[in-house]
Amino acid sequence: MQNRTSNSKISWFFVTLSVLFLVSGAYLTGNIARAEGKTISPESKKLLGNFSNALAEVAEAVRPAVVNISTTTTIPAEANPFGDMFNDPFFRRFFGDQFNHPGFNRKQKTSALGSGVIVSDTGYILTNSHVVKGADDIKVVLYDKREFKGTIVGTDPKTDLAVVKIDAKDLPIISIGKSSTLKTGDVVLAIGNPFGLNQTITMGIVSAVGRSNLGLADFVDFIQTDAAINPGNSGGALVNTNGELIGINTAIFSTSGGYMGIGFAIPSDMATGIMDSIIKSGKVIRGWLGVSTQPLTPELAQTFKIKDQKGALVSGIIANSPADKAGLKRGDLIIGLDGKPVADPVSLRNIVASLAPGTKIELKIIREAAEKSLSVTLAELNEKMDVKRTGYKNSLKGVTVQELTASLREKLAVPENLNGVIITDISPDSPVMGVLQVNDVIQEVNRQNIQSMQDYDQAVAKIGEKDGMLLLIYRQGGSVYITIKP
């Protein structure tokens, strides 16, 4: 009797449990059915539809003006275990030629891919300098699959821009917008040929503007975007929602070589100025002020009794330069140029370099705690450099040096009264690799003063292969003696 009662209780338990499952299932099924039955409101459909249609219209309008650029270059043969993967100039830009094999001396052809933007119906194309650098042959493929041979009109490595010309007429061109009007959060489209996939379009926003000191180019305040940019996108278009070109896609920040959400584009305002100069003169002509500047630190601000925390502090003035003739002095803080704020030395340098020689500008400065305006007429920046790689067999073998030009002095904030030659390259097999650095200024060699390339050559020529040497160098704001053993 007790077993029957127990079995009966167990049976009722399972019956009850089954009913609960059935009820729960019916309830869930009903909810799912009701969820599946929900509809999207007409307003939402219209909003999303309009947005989608607008982006599609922009894409269709600008795609014909974006081209595929493929190059062929003759280089020393490499033992490259990765095949063509690293042939894209975009990849080589970040990884360098680190796969060279010392046993190969023969030549070989290598190909690379990039993008470009048609800016003139007579065949002028704007792209990156690194896309066409050293190319023997350039092939340009248009949106309609037509192919043309491209020729380089001119390049500007300091902004990583180049102009290529094809023999064609009545080409589709892109409208050029003003990058100066961009705001963080603006929607943008990136168009190019990543990994050789023609006419790829990605969407994102402007993440930031005015990015500098990235090591990508000397005179560029980049646009940062999260629109996907990958190898092959170099030289392609970054456009706004009006279908206007507002940037030339140039580089990415990546630890893997692929897209990681941070890309950079050269602003159209700068790109068009460079392009016009190249087409007109075959080179880029830049304005020159003739000052050495440095960032304003809190300590310096306190010393000079300056309340502002932004600007370019004048640390040196080149004799007979535009700045000297205008009455600029050491200790002046430049905070504005033609009504535009000057945040730091880099922004000052970039603004000045973007202006033509002969341009009259108005500088807003702070001198002895008082604001003042100065009128300056810019001169032309002379970038001719006397570069020499030493052929000596001593410890300075493989070190490339050049004259300390005004532009380099300004760029590296080298004091006006400091002279010497500057190191621009050190070969990997040089005895001083890891001891000396690029941008070191050699002031003395074995206690002999170095004022010019001639002084340097005479001093180094006396040093034998097994001789040590004592160098006085200027590095990162200070002078130090370095002993080099043979």
Mean pLDDT, residues 444-468: 84
- Tokens 């003759």 belong to residue: 74
Clarify whether 207 is annotated catalytic: no
Mean pLDDT, residues 212-217: 61
Phi, psi of 102 (to 5 degrees): -65, -15
Mean pLDDT, residues 268-273: 88
Q: Any idea what the Cα angle at residue 438 is, between residues 80 and 284, rounded to 5°?
A: 85
Given 70, 88, 115, 130, the catalytic residue: 130
Q: Is 347:210 a contact under the CB 8 Å cutoff? A: yes
Q: What is the pLDDT of residue 263?
A: 83
- Per the model's pLDDT, the better-predicted residue between 116 and 310 turns out to be 116
| pTM for this model (two decimals) | 0.62
Mean pLDDT, residues 334-356: 87
Given 88, 156, 160, 455, the catalytic residue: 160
- Residue 6's pLDDT band (boundaries 50, 70, 90)? very low
Given 70, 234, 321, 395, the catalytic residue: 234
> What ranges make up the beta strands (E) of 200-328?
200-211, 222-225, 237-239, 244-252, 263-267, 287-288, 291-295, 312-317
Clarify whether 338 is annotated catalytic: no
94-142: pLDDT as tens digits: 545 554 544 444 566 677 788 899 999 999 999 998 888 888 889 999 9
Q: Any idea what the Cα angle at residue 409 is, between residues 469 and 286, rounded to 5°?
A: 140
Pick from 61-70, 253-262, 355-364: least confident: 253-262
pLDDT at 218 over 80: no
Percent of the chain with pLDDT over 90: 14
CA nearest neighbour of 380 among 399, 359, 408: 359
Clarify whether 101 is annotated catalytic: no
- Per the model's pLDDT, the better-predicted residue between 391 and 241 turns out to be 241
- Residue 8's pLDDT band (boundaries 50, 70, 90)? very low
Q: Any idea what the Cα angle at residue 438 is, between residues 129 and 415, rounded to 5°?
A: 105
Q: Which residues pair with 239 in a beta bridge?
A: 189, 245
- Per the model's pLDDT, the better-predicted residue between 223 and 403 turns out to be 223
**Domains in the chain with CATH codes:** 58-284 (2.40.10.120), 287-380 (2.30.42.10), 387-484 (2.30.42.10)
pLDDT at 247 over 80: yes
CA-to-CA separations, 256 to 93, 159, 207, 253, in angstroms, rounded: 13, 24, 21, 9
pLDDT at 11 over 50: no
pLDDT at 217 over 80: no
Q: What is the pLDDT of residue 87?
A: 53
Q: What is the pLDDT of residue 369?
A: 81
349-395: pLDDT as tens digits: 888 888 889 999 999 999 888 889 999 999 988 765 444 545 567 88
Q: What is the pLDDT of residue 432?
A: 87
